[in-house]
Amino acid sequence: MKKESIGKLRLGGRILLGIYLACLIYFMFFSESYGRTDVHRDYHYNLVLFREIRRFIQYRHVVGTMAVLINVAGNVAVFIPLGFALPVLFERIHSFGQVLILSFSISLLAETMQLVLRVGCFDVDDLLLNTIGGCIGYVIYGIFRCFWKRGRYGKEKL
């Protein structure tokens, strides 16, 4: 593939990443369906790892299965595209460790903004789940990269 074509693909990907991040910001800070427009006077936070995950699972019959899925699986799933996109779109980001640190940092920034703006709740469980999602995205990227290389250069050993 020509460098010009790769450049255009990366530009398109960066635009899609921008749209993804805008949607992420909307759902984290402005979405009425998640109660984000109700600004609290008090700070809401959880600094005990697994407390909220355990609470959601323990009271799943009260809050509903969908709330548990949104809280647990949703926090993982929402960062998978980020973990996939970072190494694809930015040449300097090429290792698992870099994606892990960036996923954690972006999640920490978002959670801190929720705390400061008093919208939602700063939750260490969300930090963990978001970081896991970013790492899963990187693993998916690695799998796609292996298949792409294998198809492009013939059969290679993994």
What does the pLDDT look like over 115-139, one tens digit per residue? 988 888 899 999 999 999 999 999 9
> How far apart, in Å, are the Cα atoms of 45 and each of 109, 119, 152?
14, 11, 49
Which is more confidently placed, 156 or 96? 96
Phi and psi (nearest 5°) for 123? -140, 120
What does the pLDDT look like over 16-39, one tens digit per residue? 999 999 998 888 888 876 655 556
- Rounded to two decimals, the pTM is 0.85
DSSP-derived letter for residue 24 is H
